[in-house]
Amino acid sequence: MNLNERIPNNVNLSEDKKLQRALEKWLPNYLDWWQQMGPDGFQQKDVYLRTAISVEPDGWANFDFVKMPEYRWGIFLKPAAPDAKIGFGDNLGQPAYQEVPGEFRNALRRIIVTQGDTEPASVEQQRELGKTCPSLYDLRNLFQVNVEEGRHLWAMVYLLQKYFGRDGRDEADALLERRSGNPDKPRILEAFNQPCDDWLNFFCFTMFTDRDGKYQLSALAESGFEPLARTCQFMLTEEAHHMFVGDTGLNRVVKRTAQLMKQGDVRELGGIPLDIIQKHINFWFSYSLDLFGGEISSNSADFFAAGLKGRYKEQDQYEDHVLVDQNFTMKVVADGKLSDREVPLRNALNEVLRGEYVRDCEKGLARWNKTLAEEGLSERLFLPNSRFHRHVGEYAGHYFDIEGNLIAAEQFEQRKADWLPTMEDREYVRSLMHPVVEPGKIANWIAPPATGIKGKPFEFEYVRL
Ligand SMILES: [Fe+2]
Ligand SMILES: [Fe+2]
């Protein structure tokens, strides 16, 4: 572990001069990008942040006040297991790849670039949020997520620069050139081009879209390309906090809304009505489902066969890691109606991963509904059907109601305002977003957290403004 270098790392950077030169050349461009596209207006403030300093499960992080541009973005991989083997696919049991196999070079580069692109994209999407934070605690959490997404970008750039030569260096540069929502040079995946300009969107994003990240990283953490697997395994330790921010953030919004519902009209009382929360869930859940890719996918079959991308907890929860003669049944649209179709399981692995994700999201909904019940309300929140409002895969180009029934385009248009946030809903939410920056104070539309960060109370001055 070398923490004293310009780039803290556990990959022996000082002994790999070529990589060190590439990364040190990339570093100033990264810092320029951070200044341009990172949190606007807070770069010189001291923030109580967690920094990864080790890969040991206990004590991997250090908490202290840091100015964000001085954050120690490092490169940390989970230590190599001796004799690692490819855990699934056609080469099951062969030694894991320590270098990029020539025949999978393009596929692997594409996987890494697509994952890498999401990391800076989310920082860009969240750039203006600090100005309307509901509390210092939330402001700190936003910045924690932002600096760690920055570190995730470093993790992917390390792989590109170390293992993909010239192309990898070009891809690393391009990761700093695309911009979220910019029509001329957009980010690769659509959910990462959607604006995330108020805190309800932010909590939905960290709940639903970061959670897609968890499942993608988990599938790649199984990879037979060992450097990728070890990189993703460590990223997952940070990712847990991002989803915590979203899950508990929404729970706190739901709690406050429930309290206000008992007092009178939520709008008049300055809260976020439950139907607007539901519409935001519908919006971000459906966009996040698209991130898993098509239901029937030859890529998913190729990646699995090659041992590049496995299933969620491939080693822990499955016996059969080859999947040659198995099938998977799913609903598809044929002749204007929904019908069952059987496809080879290897071609359905995006859908298998998506199913794991949906079950995980349902647990979040159960927690929020428990909050509603505890407040004595009978209203409940729910997840829309997975076919609703999709732009990628089998259901794209068709229209479904919130329960997943196939409907006509005109019917969808008529009911759209009941299901998805309208301009008016978005403007209303935005009208509530005023900064609250006094230690211990909280905005009216959200409940305070149950506990603070790292044993500190909620009243702690997490950001020194
Ligand atoms: Fe990330
Ligand atoms: Fe994340």
- Buried b vs exposed e over 67-105: b needs ≥16 C-beta within 10 Å? ebeebbbbbbbbeeeeeeebbbbebeeeebbeebeeebe
Closest CA to 238 of 310, 149, 361, 311: 149
Q: CA end-to-end span of the chain, whole Å?
A: 34
pLDDT of residue 3 exceeding 90: no
- What's the gap in Å between 147 CA and the centre of ligand 1? 10
CB within 8 Å of 337: residues ≥ 6 apart: 406
- CA 307 from chain center: how many Å? 23
pLDDT score of 187 more than 80: yes
Task: Give the pLDDT mean for 147-173.
Answer: 96
Q: Distance, CA 232 to ligand 1 centroid (Å)?
A: 10
Q: Output the DSSP codes for 318-373.
A: -S-SS-SS-EEEEEEEETTEEEEEEEEGGGGHHHHHHHHHHHHHHHHHHHHHHHHH
| Distance from the alpha carbon of residue 144 to the mean position of ligand 2, in angstroms | 10
Task: Give the Å distance between the CA of 105 and the centre of ligand 1.
Answer: 23
**Structure confidence at residue 7 as a pLDDT band (50, 70, 90):** confident
Q: Read out DSSP for 181-208?
A: T-SSS--SSGGGGS---SHHHHHHIIII
CA of 108 to the centre of ligand 2 (A): 21
Ligand 1 midpoint to CA 238 (Å): 8
Ligand 1 centre and the CA of 65: distance in Å? 22
Confidence of residue 53 (pLDDT cuts 50, 70, 90): confident
Give ion ligand 1 contacts, CB < 5 A.
Answer: 119, 149, 152
The percentage of the chain sitting over the pLDDT mark of 90, rounded to a whole number, equals: 91
As a whole number of angstroms, the distance between CA 162 and CA 167 comes to 11
Mean pLDDT value of segment 242-251 = 97
- Flag whether pLDDT at 346 surpasses 90: yes
Residue 64: how many CA atoms within 13 Å on its side-chain side? 10
The region of weakest confidence among 81-85, 135-139, 343-347, 352-356 is 81-85
Distance 239 CA to ligand 2 centre (A): 5
Residues in the chain: 465
CA 284 to centroid of ligand 1, rounded, Å:
17
Q: pTM of the prediction?
A: 0.96
Please give the pLDDT value at position 57.
74
Is the predicted pLDDT of residue 4 greater than 70, yes or no? no
Residues 6 or more apart whose Cβ sits within 8 Å of residue 444: 256, 269, 270, 271, 432
- Taking the centre of ligand 1 as the mean of its atom positions, its distance from the CA of residue 413, in whole angstroms, is 34
Above 80 in pLDDT, residue 59?
Answer: no
Whole-number average pLDDT of the chain: 95
Ligand nearest to the CA of 246: 2
Please give the average per-residue pLDDT across 62-72, as a whole number.
95
User: At 168, is the pLDDT very low, low, confident or very high (cuts 50, 70, 90)?
Assistant: very high
Contact (CB, 8 A) for 138 and 463: no
Instruction: Determine what percent of the chain is predicted with pLDDT higher than 70.
Output: 99
- Give the Å distance between the CA of 206 and the centre of ligand 2: 7
Q: How far is the CA of 458 from the centre of ligand 2 (A)?
A: 23
pLDDT value at 320 more than 80 = yes
DSSP 137-155: HHHHHHHHHHHHHHHHHHH
The mean pLDDT value for 81-89 works out to 94
How would residue 1 be classed by pLDDT, with cut points 50, 70 and 90? Answer: low
Give the ligand at the shortest distance from the Cα of 144: 2
Which ligand has the nearest atom to the CA of 118?
1
315 CA → ligand 2 middle, Å: 24
2 - beta bridge partners?
9
In the predicted model, is pLDDT for residue 248 greater than 90?
yes
**Protein residues within 5 Å, CB atom, of ion ligand 2:** 210, 239, 242
At residue 339, φ and ψ (nearest 5 deg) are: -145, 165
pLDDT, tens digit (0-9, with 9 covering 90-100), for 188-204: 998 899 889 899 999 99
- Residue 263 neighbours by CB distance under 10 Å: 10
pLDDT score recorded for residue 61: 86
Tokens of 153: 């970008």
Residues 14-32 have pLDDT tens digits of 899 999 999 999 999 999 9
Distance 213 CA to ligand 2 centre (A): 7
> 249-303 pLDDT, tens per residue?
999 999 999 999 999 999 999 999 999 999 999 999 999 999 999 999 999 999 9
Give residue-wise pLDDT tens across range 386-440. Answer: 999 999 999 999 999 999 999 999 999 999 999 999 999 999 999 999 999 999 9
Please check the confidence at residue 2 and state whether its pLDDT lies above 80: no
Question: How far is ligand 2, taken at its centre, from the CA of residue 152, in Å?
Answer: 8
